[in-house]
Structure 1
């Protein structure tokens, strides 16, 4: 058993609060911009296709920085990396607010994303190194609330700011919060002397053998993969040459990257961490979990606004109970972690999320806000039971000095998982929508008695309002076509929600590998070479 590392005498809750500001802002900024894109488009004179680069550029920059967290932490120190990235995020936010041309805005948005990239994994590593082993569950519960709260409140907060002020303020609001976060991190976060000593030795080896080839391959591979996932659905996937080229380049680059990192003398990204089956299975389940979370956060607002007629505010309020449930349940799960096997907790979470998907699959055109709240409330419990044990047990056997490497990869897989979820389910909803609408249309024709009765009733009602015969018939046919389209989309949503639940249940076999030292697994950290 390794000796316990000496810890600075700091208030762990002050440390937690200090490093949570950056993570929360980074998580919010992934989604807050989406509601302001129409306003930005007018301000910078961009087309609908061009303005999406404001979101795509941020996500690509975030993704390519995440796996470098361990490398940067060894070279400069975790605290310095966190402060530098938070400062970069603040500067990027200010310059985004002042941008008045599309590509200037995209560039500064990428700078902002690069700053945000290291904040989440660095916070996770700092919390793991600050809290004693018996309180790791609570540490990850706090981290979970910051990560899950951001995407949930981002659209609602962004809509309120845009409605009451103007779009640059969604960026300017980051400045005072970020400066407060920097002051608190500088004042209250102190690195463990033992970890600093180990990192100094590793950094010396890194400086002599900088893995430039690995860095280049990673940047190209992740950037093209993220572009493929972000823009693929919008451009008909492999029907578009640029999307196809990005997919090929990403697969080739990432294949060479993996080969390079497994043979490099001092790899920039420590892929050998995946030798630990607990880390590998926890990270993979976490990626699928984020795919489900982001897919649901995309599909439900679309269903409520397009089919149930909710306003953006109403759909945002209908989604808030899931966030509230997660915030209420997550601390309880953190305390429960030391007493219940993580396999049982994660299994329960998977079942609850899938059950929530089944409830969502029962929604119809006459469903109320309460029906939606019930379904997402069940899911909120499930996500709370997933995030805490997954992030805790996945890192349970990782050596403390490699924690930032592990959290960087863990965060990367969650981010990629979320992008895959959005891309796949956006494509599925469109594909099944066309199939379902065609199936409904086949049963609707003027020879059908019910259809003829409906058309006659609509035509008569329109004529009573002053329409002539020809106009009334055309309007009645158009109204019927709209009804068919809506019913087809309802069937599509029902099918996709059910598919999501079934897919998530398919990861249950991975629970076999999810053993923690406190619940029957090996107590020694897995030996991982650099």
Structure 2
């Protein structure tokens, strides 16, 4: 790192983190507004989901090739163009006149936003000396992890108090400030070489086809009953073939569009895999907890967002502290502690019931805030620690796209498992509700008497009692399904623990 970068280190940090927060926030801010958008745009439930899917899909496609695009056009120019595209298309999303225009603008917004997080990480790595790398990644983690966590809360507030277009309009003034800061403070590093050679069009095409098919399969699989659908089966085959050919092409090309040879580095590869586990658990919990609070406990959308705030606040408190501890304790100890803390926190969630109070949800989230903070800061630092400076932009793109794709896997699998376990547990519980069950008959008599006292005749009272028991069984089955999926996430954290021994121990290095 040259001394040129150090005088404006604080302003460079503010500049790139502004872009990273904008990009991370827009992965989840639209979710609570989808029902309102559906009515205004005249879309079905399946169609309106593409407003969220299209953004994530284009994020995933652009992330692996940011190194290639940065070397071809200059990283500063590419970053500036990405911020401009994100800002302009945010305005166009708010002005969208129908579903097709909305999806088109969201795709462009995803292309612009997808480059902001990896480039921000690369720039922060370059502008902080080795002893401050943990601190830099603590700042980076605040934006990248808290953005999706705060998105539903901010989106709910804007939608309730203004209207859904404001979840996009809010990006515009911040984006303009980011453009001005980028023009003033961001420069290309001296070691970044500009390449004007032949474009690896075949590799790019295979990547787009493979990753695109995989992402659409993950987003649509649950709604279409997975491999019972010919469409999902076709996507799975396309993704498998496309990604296999893509890997073969990139490993054999002289100048590949995506530098997969970086995966030969043991620390980078194991760190990227742990990042995938982090993506699965983070996105799965962001998906499951609001559903649990709204569907089973009856929380409004905004209140469910507020109920998830303890985790975000805990991350905001712990991440800078963890950044300071990194050079003292080392990566393995911090990541190992984070995996164990998160495993315990999800195990606590797997023991919830329908009678939970606020504090039953509060403390597991605080532990998750600590656990995610421990993992993310140390992992973001150590994963890129063995990568050469000239390859950091490529490596950052790979690292972030794996986390994003695994996050989509986490959402898809958690939705599928919740649905399937609901069916299984509902069936199991109803087996015990028979005319020979003393408990079931007592409940039915009690409920029937209550409805009879309220004015219903005998037959109507019995029917209402049966419906009430069915509702109770459905809610209990759903609760057990959520418990099961939370337990599976806990097991995933514990199973990932051995991967930490493949990482370079920064403390001993």
TM-score (norm 2): 0.98
- Tell me which residue corresponds to 1:88: 85
Distance in 1 (CA, whole Å) between partners of 2:136 and 2:92 is 34
Change (3 A) 1:9 1:515: closer
Contact 2:6 2:127 in 1 (8 A): no
SS of 1:208's equivalent in the other structure is coil
How far off its partner does 1:480 sit? Answer: 0.4
Are residues 1:502 and 2:462 paired?
Answer: no
Aligned to 2:307: 318
Q: Is 1:226 matched up with 2:215?
A: yes
Given that 2:32 and 2:301 are in contact with CA atoms closer than 8 Å, whether structure 1 keeps it comes out as no
8 Å CA contact 2:314–2:370 kept in 1: the answer is yes
2:285 corresponds in structure 1 to 296
How far the C-alpha of 1:186 sits from its partner, in A, is 1.4
1:358 paired residue number = 347
Once the two structures are TM-superposed, the CA of residue 446 in structure 1 deviates from its matched residue by: 2.9
Q: Out of 142, 145, 148, which is 2:145 matched to?
A: 148
Structural RMSD (CA) = 1.1
Q: How do 1:149-188 and structure 2 match up within 5 A?
A: 149-188=146-185
Q: For 1:482-505, what per-residue CA distance to the aligned partner results, in whole angstroms no more than 9, with x for missing partners?
A: 001111111111121111101221
The equivalences for 1:339-488 within 5 A come to: 339-488=328-477
Aligned 1:130-279 pairs, distance under 5 A? 130-193=127-190, 195-196=191-192, 199-200=193-194, 203=195, 207-279=196-268
| Cα pair 2:448 2:465 within 8 Å, conserved | yes
Separation (CA, whole Å) in 2 of partners of 1:282 and 1:7: 30
CA–CA distance in structure 1, aligned partners of residues 433 and 291 of structure 2: 26
Distance 1:360 1:115 in 2: 36
Q: Distance in 1 between matches of 2:478 and 2:415?
A: 13
Q: Tell me how far apart the structure 2 counterparts of residues 308 and 208 of structure 1 sit (CA, whole Å).
A: 58
SS at 1:359's partner residue? helix
For residues 468 and 407 of structure 1, what CA distance do their matches in structure 2 show? Answer: 68
Deviates more, 1:258-267 or 1:435-444: 435-444
Deviation at 1:210, TM superposition (A): 1.4
1:280 to 2:275 alignment: no
Number of aligned residue pairs: 509
Query: Structure 1 residue 9: deviation in Å?
Result: 4.3
Deviation (angstroms), 1:311 = 2.3
Name the SS for the 2:26 alignment partner: helix
The C-alpha deviation readout for 1:346-368, integer Å capped at 9, x for no partner, is 01000000000111011101110
Mapped pair 1:29 → 2:18: no
Structure 2 counterpart of 1:519: 507
CA distance in 2, matches of 1:26, 1:446: 57
Distance 2:485 2:94 in 1: 38
SS in 1 for 2:28: helix
The alignment partner of 1:135 has SS state of helix
SS in structure 1 opposite 2:188?
coil
Q: Is the 8 A contact 1:209 1:265 kept in 2?
A: no
Choose the corresponding residue for 2:320, options 328, 331, 340: 331
Rounded to whole Å, the distance in 1 between the matches of 2:493 and 2:461 is 48
How much has 1:433 moved relative to structure 2?
1.2
Counterpart CA distance in 2 for 1:389 and 1:9 is: 23
- Provide the TM-score with structure 1 as the length reference: 0.94
Do structure 1's residue 122 and structure 2's residue 144 form an aligned pair? no
2-structure distance, mates of 1:208, 1:153: 42
* CA-CA distance at 1:6 after TM superposition: 4.9
